[in-house]
């Protein structure tokens, strides 16, 4: 609840901010482009209701619904379990309980851990395992990029709160801090979770599977990296129940961790690039090049486009496409868009 309140107050603050900068969120509709189909307009209006600050909405809407991803995962694992259960006599190795082994085998296969403590032993089982691991990899990609990101985004606020506990940051400051150092907090968050998962896994293997501490840690590392030599694995009933949840979450968590390291690295590089581009000396030829409308002066917006191109954030193709659209909207061909252009393009 507190989090929702904080978001709401930041949203209203930002709304004010954009109002000052000439950006209103009251949207009256008017005709300009003739290419919009009624269906497209509808979708857009629905989106705008969800996202009151469009187009500068700072809270990215997660592309997949979290529930949708969890459901997909459940269906996938459920389907795998059913199939592997029906052909359970074509799978050889250390068995415990029919259904349990089928889920365990599905998870171990899907995450590509592949201990080898249970292996397919018929053409049908082998073929099915091949198909299952390929589709599992694709699904893991979706889960890692979508659902996990969604959870982490939500949890970041807690991380910032924990870090600045002594300094009593207000909810708005927390949200701003999260926004500025997004990737850093994601990394801290996932790194912390990973440590917890490693410790829990090691302790579990030590206590329940009765491995010695070194072997337990070795098995944990071998599992979360999806190496899965298979000399140590989960062989008891309790162990396999635990493994189903633990393997899924820890392998996803490590992949996510590496993803965020890469993201942080990219963000740092982009920041450095930005600094370099903005601190570079400006030349006469830069002025000529930046002058988009050819009126011999470079306005702020032209300067912004020129520099963003130099930073590699946008490319000439993006600019050209939007420029064409601008020409279509500019009904009186004056080189500027005014209210009269909108009036003219309005039917009747």
Site residues (CB under 8 A) for a copy of itself, limited to 114-143: 114-116, 119-120, 123, 126-127, 129-130, 133-134, 137-138, 141
Torsions phi, psi for 199 (to 5 deg): -65, -45
Measuring CA to CA, how many Å separate 339 from each of 142, 326, 332? 44, 14, 11
The residue range among 80-88, 111-119, 168-176, 189-197 that interacts with a copy of itself, by the rule CB under 8 A, is 111-119
Smaller CB distance to a copy of itself: residue 162 or 192? 192
- Smallest distance, Å, CB 58 to a copy of itself? 8
Q: Around Cβ 80, how many Cβ atoms within 10 Å?
A: 23
**Identified binder of a copy of itself from the candidate list 285, 333, 347, 348, rule CB under 8 A:** 285
Q: Which of residues 189-218 bind a copy of itself (CB under 8 A)?
A: 214-215, 217-218
- Nearer CB in complex with a copy of itself: 162/227: 227
Pick out residues in 41-80 that bind a copy of itself (CB under 8 A).
Answer: 41, 43-44, 54-56, 58
- What sign has the CA pseudo-torsion 261, 262, 263, 268? positive
String of contacts with a copy of itself for each residue 139-168, x by CB under 8 A: --x---x-----------------------
- Closer CB to a copy of itself, 1 or 300, in the complex: 300
What's the min distance (Å) between Cβ of 2 and a copy of itself? 26
Query: Residue 341 contacts by C-beta under 8 Å, 6 or more apart in sequence?
Result: 32, 329, 330, 331, 332, 334
Per residue, the 3-state secondary structure of 179-197, as one string, reads HHCHHHHHHHHHHHHHHHH
3-state secondary structure of 93: strand
Name the minimum Å distance from CB 283 to a copy of itself: 5
Question: By CB under 8 A, what part of segment 216-275 binds a copy of itself?
Answer: 217-218, 221-222, 225-231, 254, 258, 261-262, 274
Alpha-carbon dihedral sign for residues 207, 210, 213, 215: negative
Measured CA to CA, the distance from residue 58 to residue 281 in angstroms comes to: 32
Regarding beta strands 118-120 and 91-93, do their DSSP bridges make them parallel or antiparallel, or are they unpaired?
antiparallel
279 in contact with a copy of itself (CB under 8 A) = yes
Task: For 315, list phi and psi in degrees, rounded to 5.
Answer: -125, 170
CB of 168 to a copy of itself, least distance (A): 26
Query: Of all helices (H) and strands (E), which one includes residue 177?
Result: helix 171-180
Q: Which whole-number Å values give the CA distances from 278 to 52, 220, 239, 274, in the listed order?
A: 32, 47, 57, 6
* 130: Cβ contacts below 8 Å, ≥ 6 apart: none
CB of 223 to a copy of itself, least distance (A): 10
Residue among 1 and 297 whose Cβ is closer to a copy of itself? 297
Which range in 113-121, 154-162, 201-209, 235-243 contacts a copy of itself by CB under 8 A?
113-121
In the set 166, 167, 333, 339, which binds a copy of itself (CB under 8 A)? 339
Can you tell me which residue has the tokens 């005014």? 338
- The one among 13, 268, 315, 332 contacting a copy of itself by CB under 8 A: 315
CB of 62 to a copy of itself, least distance (A): 14
């Amino acid at each position: 609840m507190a989090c929702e309140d904080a978001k709401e107050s930041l949203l209203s603050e930002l709304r004010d901010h954009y109002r000052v900068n000439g950006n209103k969120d009251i949207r009256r509709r008017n005709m300009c482009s003739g290419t919009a189909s009624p269906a497209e307009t509808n979708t857009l209006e629905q989106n705008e209701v969800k996202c009151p600050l469009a187009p500068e909405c700072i809270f990215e809407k997660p592309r997949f619904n979290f529930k949708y991803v969890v459901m997909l995962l459940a269906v996938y694992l459920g389907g795998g379990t059913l199939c592997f259960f029906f052909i359970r006599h074509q799978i050889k190795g250390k068995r415990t309980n029919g259904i349990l082994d089928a889920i365990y085998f599905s998870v171990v296969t899907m995450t590509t851990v592949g201990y080898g403590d249970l292996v397919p032993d018929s053409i049908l089982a082998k073929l099915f395992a091949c198909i299952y691991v390929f589709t599992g990899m694709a699904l893991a990609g979706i889960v890692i990029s979508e659902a996990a990101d969604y959870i982490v985004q939500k949890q970041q606020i807690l991380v910032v709160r924990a870090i600045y506990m002594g300094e009593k940051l207000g909810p708005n400051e927390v949200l701003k801090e999260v926004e500025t150092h997004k990737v850093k907090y994601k990394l801290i968050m996932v790194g912390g979770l990973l440590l917890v998962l490693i410790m829990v896994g090691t302790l579990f293997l030590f206590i329940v599977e009765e491995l010695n501490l070194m072997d337990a840690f070795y098995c944990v590392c071998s599992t979360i990296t999806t190496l899965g030599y298979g000399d140590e694995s989960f062989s008891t009933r309790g162990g396999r129940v635990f493994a189903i949840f633990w393997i899924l979450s820890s392998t996803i968590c490590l992949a996510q961790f590496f993803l965020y390291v890469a993201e942080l690295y990219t963000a740092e590089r982009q920041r450095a690039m930005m600094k370099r581009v903005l601190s570079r000396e400006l030349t006469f030829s830069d002025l000529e090049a930046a002058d988009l409308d050819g009126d011999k002066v470079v306005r702020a917006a032209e300067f912004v486009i020129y520099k963003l191109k130099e930073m590699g954030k946008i490319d000439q193709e993006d600019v050209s496409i939007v420029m064409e659209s601008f020409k279509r909207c500019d009904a009186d061909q004056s080189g500027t868009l005014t209210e009269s252009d909108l009036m003219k393009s309005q039917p009747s």
